[in-house]
Amino acid sequence: MDTPEKPLVQIYTDGACSPNPGTGGWGAILVSPDHPGKQREVSGAEPDTTNNRMELTAAVRALDTLKRTCRVQLTTDSQYVQKAFTEGWLVRWQRNGWKTASKQPVANADLWRDLVRLTQLHEVSWHWVRGHNEHPLNTRCDELAVAARVQLAGQQGQQ
């Protein structure tokens, strides 16, 4: 019996934080080649965070929106996120009990664990794009992240 092929979803993510650390936002866009011209945008913000946490949160939240197992092409402008998967950092961190090579606790281990769990549900390939380099979907993700950050900061009486 043939198994139906998993749908392909292209995900673009970005995080923003100002100051860093400070109020942060994240944005993601999900695109399905099966539904041309349609895309889903998701975003959010957190107080007292870092840019790296927002980059990770964008990937976690985007993958978490998928309702079934998919093949995912995830594009980020964060080498921190991309290289953890493509350069084997995560494998080493897990093997070392979530410690770095210098025996320090891995920063953002809670979000890394979430990402590991989600990548076990989906077939994810990781791609990097230079940020702020006129890639339209990366630019839009940045706009979503900044808007979410600014909105939260405004609610908190910050800039």
Catalytic residues: 14-15, 55, 77, 132, 142
What radius of gyration, in Å, describes the C-alpha atoms of the chain? 16
Closest CA to 123 of 75, 72, 49, 51: 72
Rounded to whole angstroms, the Cα distance separating 47 from 25 reads: 9
Asked if 13 and 26 touch (Cβ cutoff 8 Å), the reply is yes
User: 124: which 2 tokens?
Assistant: 């994810």
CA distances from 50 to 7, 37, 126 (A): 33, 33, 22
Beta carbons within 8 Å of 132's beta carbon, 6+ residues apart: 77, 139, 142
